[in-house]
Chain A
Amino acid sequence: MTEENSKNMAVQHWWMQRVTSIALVPLCLYLVYRSRHFLPLPLDYNSLILIIADPFVAMAMILTAVITCYHACLGVEVIIEDYVHGGLRHFLLLLNKSFFLLAGLGASAAVIYIANVLYKGMIE
């Protein structure tokens, strides 16, 4: 890796941390506000599906899931880089990216599934 490329990557990291943070502020505020309907968790399974199927909640959940997983990936990456120096380092860095990639995709897929399949199954 050239020196210029490594500098560019560092700046990219720095900017993505800030951009994801700023994007997460309104998303988190909105979800915490809507959480008054689904926290504490309702005993009624159907009411939970109704709330997640609301288009604004579903969109906010998907956006939050993807952006949070990216933000968390960047954060955990610097933690691993700071504290792990031996043989586990490369493995943990790979594991970190893989986990948050799958988590972001999985959570988005889950919300889409709940808002479509489970919701349609419920209203029949």
Chain B
Amino acid sequence: MSINKRPLSPHLQVYRPQLTSVLSILHRITGFGLAAGVLLALWWFCAIIRGPASYEIFYAFSKNIVGQGLLLCWLFALAYHSLNGVRHLFWDAGYGLELNTAYKSGWAVFFGAVIITALLWITWWQV
């Protein structure tokens, strides 16, 4: 497959970001982030299987600032990707495709994800 080295006309530099386009790329980014989180889940299972000593190491990682930051980002990614995924499923069924409905559902999904992340973090998932 030959690589096309001819120049592209500017797109990302000129198009104004819309809610629809930003939420769409955020859906892809959060999806990729969640997939990367599978690696950490695998480490978690390995740590449990190898015994209490390995689990201690994982536990310490989960308690320090890097582990907590990753967990918080992953939690937001889960909340946002799930809610936006439901929005996509409604679109697939044919509902909510008008522009003003898409904007309302978009804001609802984004703030819903923020609220769910905050609630879960404060009640169950934090240190």
Contact = CB atoms under 8 A, between A and B. Distances in A.
Judged by DSSP, the binding face of B is: helix
Contacts of A9: none
Contacts of B46: 110
A72 B82 contact: no
Interface string B75-89: 000100010011011
Interface in B108-127: 120, 123-127
Interface residues of B, number: 33
Interface in A20-50: 21-22, 24-25, 28, 32, 35-36, 39-41, 43, 45, 48-49
B122 to A, nearest CB: 12
B78 A45 contact: no
A89 B125 contact: no
Nearest to A35: B124
Interface stretch (B7-15, B30-38, B99-107): B30-38
List the 7 closest pairs (A to B, CB-CB), nearest first.
A110-B45, A72-B35, A45-B52, A36-B124, A39-B125, A75-B31, A41-B62
14 contacts: A40-B62, A40-B125, A40-B127, A45-B52, A45-B55, A72-B31, A72-B38, A75-B32, A79-B32, A110-B42, A110-B45, A110-B46, A110-B49, A114-B45
Interface of B: 1, 3, 28, 31-32, 34-35, 38, 41-42, 45-46, 48-49, 52, 55, 58-59, 62-63, 78, 82, 85-86, 88-89, 92, 120, 123-127
